A and B are shown apart, each in its own frame.
Chain A
Amino acid sequence: MTSKTYQLQTLTCPTCATKIEAAVKKMKGVEDVQVMFNASKVKVKFDESLGDGKEVKKTIERLGFGILGEK
Chain B
Amino acid sequence: MLRDSKFQRVLIAGVLIIIALALYQVDVRLHITDAFSLSISDLLMIAAAVAAGYPIAVNAFQAIRFRIVGIDALVTLAVVGAILIREYWEAAAVTFLFMLGDYLESRALEKTRSAIRSLLELAPDTARVLRNGEEVELAPEEVETGDLVIVRPGEKIPVDGTVTEGNAYVNQAPITGESMPVNKETDATVFSGTVIESGYLKIQADKVGEDTTFARILQMVEEAQDKKARTQKFLEVFATYYTPGIIVLAAVIFILTRDIPLSLTLLVIACPGALVIATPVSIVAGIGNGARHGVLIKGGEIIEKIGTVKVIAFDKTGTLTEGKPRVTRIHSLGPSEKELLRLTASAEMYSEHPLARAIVAAAQEEGITDLAEPENAEIIPGQGLKAMVDNQMIIVGNRKLLHESRMEIPAEIEEYVSTEEAEGQTAIIIANAEKILGVISIADTIRKDAVTLIQRLKAIGVKKVVMLTGDNPRAAAAISRKLGLDDYYAELLPEDKVRILEELQQDYGTSAMVGDGVNDAPALASADLGIAIGGAGTDVAMETADMVLMSDEIKKLSYAIGLSRATVRNMKQNIYFAVAVVFILLAGVLAHLVYLSSGMLIHILSVLAVIINAIRLLRYKEKVG
A22 and B67 CA atoms in complex are apart in Å by 9
Interface of chain A residues 2 through 28 with chain B (CB within 8 A): 10, 12-16, 18-19, 22-23, 26
| Complex: chain B residue closest to A41, CB-CB | B222
**Interface pick from B146-154, B277-285, B448-456, B540-548:** B277-285
The answer to whether residues A39 and B226 also contact, given A15-B71, A16-B70 and a CB cut-off of 8 A, is yes
Q: Which residues of B contact A54 (CB under 8 A)?
A: none
The answer to whether B106 and A10 touch across the interface, beta carbons within 8 angstroms, is yes
Among candidates B102, B116, B283, residue contacting A13 with C-beta atoms closer than 8 Å: B102
| Complex: chain A residue closest to B225, CB-CB | A38
The answer to whether residues A14 and B280 also contact, given A38-B113, A38-B226, A62-B62 and a CB cut-off of 8 A, is yes
The answer to whether B68 and A19 touch across the interface, beta carbons within 8 angstroms, is yes
Q: Is B619 an interface residue (CB 8 A)?
A: no
Chain B 59-81 interface 0/1 with A at a Cβ cutoff of 8 Å (1 = within): 10011011010110000000000
Q: Is A36 an interface residue (CB 8 A)?
A: yes
Q: Which residues of A contact B102 (CB under 8 A)?
A: 12-13
The answer to whether residues A19 and B70 also contact, given A13-B105, A64-B58 and a CB cut-off of 8 A, is yes
The answer to whether B66 and A15 touch across the interface, beta carbons within 8 angstroms, is no
The answer to whether B63 and A12 touch across the interface, beta carbons within 8 angstroms, is no
Chain B contact residues: helix, strand, loop or mixed: helix
Q: Is A63 an interface residue (CB 8 A)?
A: yes
A18 and B232 CA atoms in complex are apart in Å by 14
Q: Closest CB-CB distance, A5 to chain B, in whole Å?
A: 10
The answer to whether A38 and B277 touch across the interface, beta carbons within 8 angstroms, is no
Q: Which residues of B contact A41 (CB under 8 A)?
A: 222
Interface of chain B residues 240 through 277 with chain A (CB within 8 A): 271, 273, 276-277
A63 and B63 CA atoms in complex are apart in Å by 6
Q: Is B109 an interface residue (CB 8 A)?
A: yes
A25 and B249 CA atoms in complex are apart in Å by 29
Q: Which residues of A contact B105 (CB under 8 A)?
A: 12-13
| Complex: chain B residue closest to A59, CB-CB | B66
Chain A 20-64 interface 0/1 with B at a Cβ cutoff of 8 Å (1 = within): 001100100000000011110100000000000000000100111
Chain B 462-488 interface 0/1 with A at a Cβ cutoff of 8 Å (1 = within): 000000000000000000000000000
Interface of chain B residues 49 through 103 with chain A (CB within 8 A): 58-59, 62-63, 65-66, 68, 70-71, 102
Q: Closest CB-CB distance, A53 to chain B, in whole Å?
A: 17
Q: Which residues of A contact B495 (CB under 8 A)?
A: none
The answer to whether B222 and A12 touch across the interface, beta carbons within 8 angstroms, is no
Q: Is B110 an interface residue (CB 8 A)?
A: yes
Q: Closest CB-CB distance, A34 to chain B, in whole Å?
A: 8
The answer to whether A12 and B68 touch across the interface, beta carbons within 8 angstroms, is no
The answer to whether A38 and B283 touch across the interface, beta carbons within 8 angstroms, is yes
Q: Which residues of B contact A19 (CB under 8 A)?
A: 63, 66, 68, 70
Q: Which residues of A contact B284 (CB under 8 A)?
A: 38
Interface of chain B residues 103 through 119 with chain A (CB within 8 A): 105-106, 109-110, 113, 116
Q: Which residues of B contact A39 (CB under 8 A)?
A: 222-223, 225-226
The answer to whether A26 and B66 touch across the interface, beta carbons within 8 angstroms, is yes
| Complex: chain A residue closest to B283, CB-CB | A38
The answer to whether A15 and B226 touch across the interface, beta carbons within 8 angstroms, is no
Q: Closest CB-CB distance, B224 to chain A, in whole Å?
A: 9
The answer to whether A10 and B280 touch across the interface, beta carbons within 8 angstroms, is no
Q: Which residues of B contact A62 (CB under 8 A)?
A: 62, 65
A22 and B68 CA atoms in complex are apart in Å by 8
The answer to whether A10 and B109 touch across the interface, beta carbons within 8 angstroms, is yes
The answer to whether residues A14 and B68 also contact, given A19-B63, A36-B222, A39-B225 and a CB cut-off of 8 A, is no
A7 and B125 CA atoms in complex are apart in Å by 19
Q: Closest CB-CB distance, A9 to chain B, in whole Å?
A: 9
The answer to whether B273 and A13 touch across the interface, beta carbons within 8 angstroms, is yes
The answer to whether B66 and A64 touch across the interface, beta carbons within 8 angstroms, is no
Q: Which residues of A contact B109 (CB under 8 A)?
A: 10, 12
Q: Which residues of B contact A37 (CB under 8 A)?
A: 226, 280
| Complex: chain B residue closest to A35, CB-CB | B226
Interface of chain B residues 215 through 242 with chain A (CB within 8 A): 222-223, 225-226, 236
Among candidates A14, A59, A63, residue contacting B277 with C-beta atoms closer than 8 Å: A14
The answer to whether A63 and B62 touch across the interface, beta carbons within 8 angstroms, is yes
The answer to whether residues A23 and B68 also contact, given A37-B280, A39-B226 and a CB cut-off of 8 A, is yes
| Complex: chain A residue closest to B281, CB-CB | A38
Q: Which residues of B contact A26 (CB under 8 A)?
A: 66
The answer to whether B70 and A15 touch across the interface, beta carbons within 8 angstroms, is yes
12 contacts between A and B (CB under 8 A): A12-B102, A13-B273, A13-B277, A14-B236, A15-B271, A16-B70, A19-B68, A38-B116, A38-B283, A39-B222, A39-B226, A62-B62
**A22-B66, A38-B226 given; 16 more Cβ-contact pairs under 8 Å:** A10-B113, A14-B236, A14-B277, A15-B276, A18-B68, A19-B63, A19-B68, A23-B63, A23-B68, A37-B226, A37-B280, A39-B225, A39-B226, A62-B65, A63-B59, A63-B66
Q: Which 7 A-B pairs have the closest CB atoms?
A: A36-B226, A23-B66, A38-B225, A12-B106, A38-B284, A14-B276, A39-B222
